[in-house]
Amino acid sequence: MDLSPVSRDILRPPAPMRLVLGSLALALLINLLPWSGWALIIRPDFVLLMLLYWVVHEPQNIGQTWGFALGLVMDVADSALLGQHALVYVVAIFLTELLRIRIRHLSVIEQALHMLGILFVAQLIYIGLNLSLGRDFAGFALVLAPLLGALLWMPLHFVATLPRFRRRGDTALL
């Protein structure tokens, strides 16, 4: 008899740590590509998106410490205010942890809508920090980044979930 909403999570084996670290490294490399012009403005934060995926699906391995550390890496890589990405990542991870159980039981499209809200809050924090530093407002094209991030949630969910369901002896997918 299933009395708790999280009892199904106990039966699922955890994702291999090499899959988690590899996906975060790939997201970091995609973020570090030389984006420019409109692509830079509407580019979703791939590291944040991957962190949120792993917070939803592997909360025992990925949490706010990882968000803070990867946020500092992104601050240095983007030459941003030190702590800007770290603050945004920690707040987004906190919101995701609050909604994690609810998100796990929704369809992928509904999960993407929840991620849209979380990514929009993250984008508002970015905008607020940049405006407080006296930087110019980049325009309302910044709203497109959370939309693209939410649209990317569906293929991300599909791709990142595939290797987790392979048989123990099968290493061909990695």
User: What is the spatial distance between Cα 57 and Cα 97, in angstroms, rounded to a whole number?
Assistant: 10
pTM to 2 decimals?
0.87
Identify the helix (H) or strand (E) that includes residue 75. Answer: helix 64-78
| Residue position matching structure tokens 């997201």 | 27
Q: Where are the domains of the chain?
A: 16-165
118 in Cβ contact with 81 (< 8 Å): no
Task: Give the confidence band of 142 by pLDDT, cuts at 50, 70, 90.
Answer: confident
| Residue position matching structure tokens 């707040």 | 91
Closest C-alpha among 48, 56, 3, 15 to residue 163 = 15
User: What is the spatial distance between Cα 158 and Cα 148, in angstroms, rounded to a whole number?
Assistant: 16
DSSP tally for the chain: helices H, then strands E: 8, 0
pLDDT tens profile 70-80: 999 999 999 88
Spell out the residues 6+ positions from residue 24 whose beta carbon is closer than 8 angstroms to its own. 47, 50, 51, 54, 66, 70
Among 101-115, 140-154, 155-169, which stretch is predicted with the lowest mean pLDDT? 155-169
User: What is the spatial distance between Cα 156 and Cα 49, in angstroms, rounded to a whole number?
Assistant: 9
pLDDT tens profile 25-72: 999 999 999 999 889 889 999 999 999 999 999 999 999 999 999 999
